[in-house]
Chain A
């Protein structure tokens, strides 16, 4: 029989330290749904998703009951719609978003991602139509998530797309102003986007993926935080070892859930995403882990180093626990979704510039950050360009999910509800980036040698 200590330690992690499986995401290829006729294409999309994912939620609930571990989100990701829609002659792509919304709701999932375009080198007509339709698509749907990849290490950064997306984000914020600009929480701009990401808002089912796939994202900042209580004052290698061991356990739970879900749904298992995904709940914060390492407040000097240690240890511990690792894999630092980050931002210790530095060493980017509602689109574009440049040069995924809080200014906050949390409005630089952004064009791909 298993020993008592092990059993109680698992129960404590789940019951007291918020250990959960953050998401089971089913990726579904919609390439077979292309059609000249947009209504017919939308019907095919709806039918295919319902057929593939009809049992997803029920199966996950059964697994939760039997293994006693919560699966917080059940989600669907689909082929980037700009590819699926390219065959249609329609000018307005919003019906595709409505079809996704309807299908996702019929399956009972929390989110459906893939209202996306990949434009790192250039935009097709379809890509541009999709991007221009994002503000309306995110206004008239509830659970659809959208993402656009604007750069990559191999292709450089498409600055025309970056300029366009600054405007798209501002328009989305204005259109959903009545709901605290929530549309922007469902839109993420990537550099080096991955094809098997189970996390929203950036999940889409890449063209290199199988017909259907199950990807799982784990969580567990609370468990890591608690494990660090046992190594107060110890040297940092002890901290790293403790995190590795904890990450191993967390990931094993994810691997078990992933293989069970894959077996029961008869859909191949894709990857486990080794992530520390915080929630706004007390005791489930990545910022508090950094503080437990000895920083007075997250955002002060030393934060980037502490985060680098954490991120690396999570991966090292997790890699051995899963047969296939992928997705974004790293510690997330979404401000509004992390109780400790919110507190640090309110205190003024954590600012956007520091967050940008932190994204150099962790997954994924400037995430869930509210900025003043009157921030110019060019400034948003410039924030995206900076973040994409970090991803491009360092061969990692970076992303921007900022929320211009309409009618709000620094010092205010916006309530986004649920796991999206409460976002303090953070200051941006007032000096203009307009001339730089309005140049348009392309930032060439970086050299892969002479690395310094």
Chain B
């Protein structure tokens, strides 16, 4: 099952490392990463595969939210289908 992780906030050293570390700890595989600075905001979008994850979806979500809190960023994870449904015909 694929999901999209979005990280938005102020840029600082170690964001990718911290997020990837959290995901690796939960056995979530990162498929793709794209990042940019938009209007002064660090924006990273990751496609991840959660089918082999060691915990359930809501635990992945809380772990990422906790990492986000530590870094002062907003980190969301949503199943890919919501984006596909809303943006593709």
| Chain A residues in the interface with B (C-beta under 8 A) | 1-2, 4, 6-11, 13, 15, 62, 65-69, 249, 252-253, 255-256
Contact = CB atoms under 8 A, between A and B. Distances in A.
Contacts of B86: 6, 10, 13, 249, 252-253
Contacts of A67: 78-79, 81-82
B4 A7 contact: yes
A4 B45 contact: yes
**What is the interface of chain B mostly: helix, strand, loop, or mixed?**
strand
Nearest to B46: A1
Nearest to A249: B86
Given A11-B6, A252-B85, 6 more contacts: A2-B47, A7-B83, A11-B8, A13-B86, A15-B76, A67-B81
Contacts, number: 66
B36 A69 contact: no
Interface in B62-89: 76-87
B4 A256 contact: no
A298 to B, nearest CB: 28
A8 B31 CA distance: 18
Contacts of B32: 1
B61 interface: yes
Contacts of B81: 67, 256
B57 A65 contact: yes
B82 A10 contact: yes
A7 B61 contact: no
Given A2-B80, A253-B82, A65 B6 contact: no
B43 interface: yes
B47 to A, nearest CB: 5
A209 B86 CA distance: 29
B77 A256 contact: no
A4 B58 contact: no
Given A4-B36, A68-B76, A10 B47 contact: no
B60 to A, nearest CB: 10
14 contacts: A1-B31, A2-B83, A4-B45, A6-B83, A7-B6, A7-B45, A8-B43, A10-B86, A11-B8, A67-B78, A67-B82, A68-B78, A68-B82, A255-B85
A4 B7 CA distance: 12
